[in-house]
Amino acid sequence: MVSSEGLNSSQPPKQYGVTKPISMLGPTDADMQRSRELEKFLSDDGLYESKEEAAKREEVLGRIGQIVKDWVKQLTRLRGYTDQMVEDANAVIFTFGSYRLGVHGPGADIDTLCVGPSYINREEDFFFVLHNMLSEMEEVTELQPVPDAHVPVMKFKFDGISIDLLYASISLLVVPDDLDISDVSVLYDVDEPTVRSLNGCRVADQILKLVPNVEHFRTTLRCLKLWAKRRGVYSNVTGFLGGVNWAILVARVCQLYPKAIPSMLVSRFFRVYTQWRWPNPVMLCPIEEDELGFSVWDPRKNPRDRTHHMPIITPAYPCMNSSYNVSTSTLRVMMEQFQHGNKICEEIELNKSQWSTLFEPHLFFESYKNYLQVDIVAADVDDLRSWKGWVESRLRQLTLMIERDTYGKLQCHPYPHEYVDNSKPCAHCAFFMGLQRKQGEIIQEGQQFDIRGTVDEFRHSINMYMFWKPGMEIYVSHVRRKQIPSYVFPDGYRRPRHPRVSSQQPSDKPSYEDGGASRVGSGERGLKRKRDPDEANVKNDMPDKRCSISPQRRDSISPEIISHKFGGTSACLAFSEGNEMCEVDKKMFCPDDVEGGCTSNSSVITSLSSDIGSCEDIGNESVAGSSKGNNGSADGSVEGSNNVVSSQSDSGDADSLCHLENVCRDGSGVFQDGLREEFEPNAAVVDGVDAEAVQKPVLRLSLTSTA
């Protein structure tokens, strides 16, 4: 039930967050019934671990705690310290992430931090001495050190439980068992990687302190994490959002609706973030500066912070943007999914839909006409694990490079899910990116998208991998929707496409870009559009024009896949849209690597039957989450509230949201928690890409066509 803390006549209710709540009203009987149904759905879906697994996790953490204590004592003795120092030598294990927040599920990994004394370092002692100790233990499997990560980590499984272990050496000779990691003193005289390692635990503790009701927060966060995974927007490394990002977003909604229960909070989550004026930051508390001098997120002082598209600020010093990986393309995809979620929640509140509808998987392979397929192979499973981790961490750079080199006119949708072709003789996995032209772009005579150099630059960045071994290869191919390999589908084959709902009409709303109102990507809700090549009887080897059931517009001309010879073995692969073209290099690789075999080098023109990305032509995608309106302005603001289903608990939500979180500054440039002037929306974009985000260096990437 909702807490009544602070509701006495002598004191006003406690305010959580940097602004006043939107609504202090509690749940109705209908809200409480919907919450019970939601919790039952989460339980039936297997989101809660058993008591036996919970006990095993506690046991594993205890054993790891003893291992690191023995490790520190051993090094203390080897370095000639006194017997008393050896006896006092200590290391402490902390947890963070989903386990610390209390929202982990069965099989989830445990994010752990080992805090050790000042004389035990990360580079040699942690990544070599402790690594060797762990490698000799039979309980430890899949041991993978990642010393060059932004937050250096050692990954392994201990007795079947996945562990991500970080290390922080603090400026103490003896680490007490009761160390208060939230105290700023732990940051004295430490380097930046150590600050980042400590920040995970400090942030998790602060989040739990800054929400009105921890249990409601946990249930809501479990729900939104499941939703994000089903809809393909849960992955920090790919440019979407990870666990801490979703936790902060949910915590902010809990602050805005302190008396709401989970069913209300889920609905309000989508209501708030479909109307959020990015790049205004989401913050749980004011950003504080400290005499320690660590850099905090501040676009007034740090030019790089102005390039962030979706700032979600951590609540512990030094406050950082936890979502710096988000790009223009991934923000667009997330806004589309927020719109989709908002529409479903409106239907649930009107008893027109069930919770199961909200969690329907996103039909990614029905959403675009063109895809990039990235195949990753290695000699064995162990090599693939490390090679795949490296390549996956660089896929975001490919998205950024394409955005940069096409001036944002070619949009990418990286899908954060790996697919495995078990028929391959070698260890294999594949990732996919959807491609589409930016909506509303006017085609200019002779304009083309040539991304051959972009992919070549990506190839060079991949070659920076320090631990490359023979057999580690990567292949990139351009595939059309009907050429998607069968192993990506759950049943091993493509299901028949659902008939379109002809009653739905495209919205007249402008397309979303850089924080504006978005079109909803919903593969489950079709609309009337041009005939699809998968359903039409079109000859693939003929360039003839197809028949259309709607008038041809200049921006919806059928693209073509064109392959020409370039000096024998190298070729150019292009998909064109009228006078627009997107080109990538093409080289051959083994026929087993792509379903249907390799493409020959002979010249061929294959007619595609739809444009690269006209939203009316994307699978069964629907346009705009609701026909009720929601007038999106160019800067991303939302005028009016006719898209929101009102309830008695939030009359006036829309007006409040229009003024919400507009982090402003007074004459001296200091951040304020009230509304005085808006953050300039366009200040967050500098040429569409972070200048330091793209690296240029030398390797073995083959590009091929499956056209």
How many C-beta atoms surround the C-beta of residue 332 within 10 A? 25
Using DSSP bridges, classify how beta strands 110-116 and 161-169 pair: parallel, antiparallel or unpaired.
Answer: parallel
The SS3 of residue 120 is coil
522: nearest Cα among 341, 325, 657, 291:
341
Which candidate in 69, 73, 155, 225 is catalytic?
Answer: 225
The answer to whether 98 and 151 have CB atoms below 8 angstroms apart is no
Which candidate in 45, 88, 109, 690 is catalytic?
Answer: 109
Concerning whether 353 is annotated as a catalytic residue, the answer is: no
Task: Report how far residue 175's alpha carbon sits from residue 120's, in angstroms, rounded to the nearest whole number.
Answer: 11
426: nearest Cα among 390, 463, 376, 466:
376
- The Cα-based distances of 212 to 252, 268, 514 in angstroms read 10, 15, 32
Which candidate in 98, 267, 323, 614 is catalytic?
Answer: 98
Look up residue 312 and give its DSSP letter: B
Per-residue H/E/C for 259-292: CCCHHHHHHHHHHHHHCCCCCCCECCCCCCCCCC
Per-residue H/E/C for 76-117: HHHCCCCHHHHHHCCCEEEEEHHHHHCCCCCCCCEEEEEEEC
Look up residue 705 and give its DSSP letter: E
Q: Which residues are CB-neighbours of 705 under 8 A, at least 6 positions away?
A: 477, 478, 561, 563, 571, 573, 586, 599
Concerning whether 159 is annotated as a catalytic residue, the answer is: no
Q: Token match 């002779």: residue? A: 446
The answer to whether 168 and 158 have CB atoms below 8 angstroms apart is no
Which candidate in 16, 99, 167, 234 is catalytic?
Answer: 234
Concerning whether 98 is annotated as a catalytic residue, the answer is: yes
H or E element in which residue 73 lies: helix 51-78
The SS3 of residue 683 is helix
Concerning whether 602 is annotated as a catalytic residue, the answer is: no
Q: Which residues are CB-neighbours of 688 under 8 A, at least 6 positions away?
A: 328, 403, 404, 407, 408
Q: Encoding tokens for residue 43? A: 């339980």
Q: Token match 């999914």: residue? A: 337
Using DSSP bridges, classify how beta strands 92-96 and 427-437 pair: parallel, antiparallel or unpaired.
Answer: unpaired
For residue 258, report the phi and psi dihedrals to the nearest 5 degrees.
Answer: -65, -20
CB-hemisphere CA count at 13 Å for 119? 17
How many C-beta atoms surround the C-beta of residue 480 within 10 A? 22
DSSP string, 201-228: HHHHHHHHHSSS-HHHHHHHHHHHHHHH
**CA gyration radius, the chain:** 26
Concerning whether 234 is annotated as a catalytic residue, the answer is: yes
Which candidate in 125, 164, 205, 383 is catalytic?
Answer: 164
Task: Report how far residue 67's alpha carbon sits from residue 91's, in angstroms, rounded to the nearest whole number.
Answer: 9
How many C-beta atoms surround the C-beta of residue 640 within 10 A? 12
Task: Report how far residue 180's alpha carbon sits from residue 344's, in angstroms, rounded to the nearest whole number.
Answer: 43
311: nearest Cα among 321, 300, 299:
321
Q: Which residues are CB-neighbours of 496 under 8 A, at least 6 positions away?
A: none
Through-space distance between the first and last CA atoms of the chain, rounded to whole angstroms? 58
Catalytic residues: 98, 109, 111, 164, 225, 234
